[in-house]
Amino acid sequence: MRILVAPTSQSILAIAAHPDDIESWCAGTLAQAYDAGSTVRLLLVTAGEQGSTNPADTRAAVAARREAEARSAAVLLGLSDVVCLHYPDGEVENTTTLRGDLVQWIRAFRPGVVFTHDPEHTLPAYLCHRDHRVVGRATLDAVYPLARDHLAFADRPSISQLPPHMVQHIWLFASAQPDTVIDIVPGFDRKVQARLEHVSQTPDPVDLAARWRTRAAEIGATGPVPLGEAFAVLHLGE
């Protein structure tokens, strides 16, 4: 297992299925990338509108609440933009439309590094949320080759008017086959604080903080580092 520091690309884009996904898997690393001078942005495919057990809730109310929570968390992590595509929670498909939307934002933001879900070697195995698998796969398809190829989506002016872009590195989180560990001691407290901004998803903040420290220590031990986040890192070009 390699021990690396957080990426220092000038532009980083995290693409996630739901509002609290990056806090679970990569927020410590993203916070440290921000500290190192990177511009870090978040693209949410859904607003997580099915994430409620309250029978009085509506999808619209949950979506508004969870998107607001994501924006509050983003402030703590230093994220400069949060974009939500508002695809239906639990029903995301790897369609041409979704790939086109991802390509549009990749070309607009021009990240050197993209963070997203590992769609092939998932955590948890077998019972990984389907949106995570689909978003990870669609993101990889969008990064390569579609965002790179100038003739891709030539019939969509919102895309074709943007210059092609080649992402250099992809960091896959929630991976069952990671090859890289980041020491997140400098970013761990902000990771937890950002997660706690998702109030609607946090029945016991004290228990969550304790469990997350234990999990980060277990991940870090594979390095070894005191507290860690783990990734499968893909290199597309220099």
pLDDT of residue 234: 97
Residues 108, 112, 115, CA angle at the centre, nearest 5°?
Answer: 90
Residue 2: per-residue pLDDT: 86
Residue 97 has pLDDT above 60, yes or no: yes
pLDDT classification of 4: cutoffs 50, 70, 90: confident
| 8 Å CB contact between 92 and 135 | yes
Residue 194 near residue 77 (C-beta atoms within 8 A): yes
Tens of pLDDT, residue by residue over 121-144, are 999 999 999 999 999 999 999 999
CATH number at residue 69: 3.40.50.10320
b/e for 135-161, b at 16 or more Cβ within 10 A?
Answer: bbbbbbbbbbebbbeeebbeebeebbe
* 156-190 per-position pLDDT tens digit: 999 999 999 999 999 999 999 999 999 999 999 99
- Look up the domain containing 113 and give its range: 2-235
Q: What tokens appear for 111 in the block?
A: 């990240």
For 18-77, what is each residue's pLDDT tens digit?
A: 999 999 999 999 999 999 999 999 999 999 999 999 999 999 999 999 999 999 999 999
Number of structural domains found in the chain: 1
Q: Which two tokens stand for residue 149?
A: 């190829």
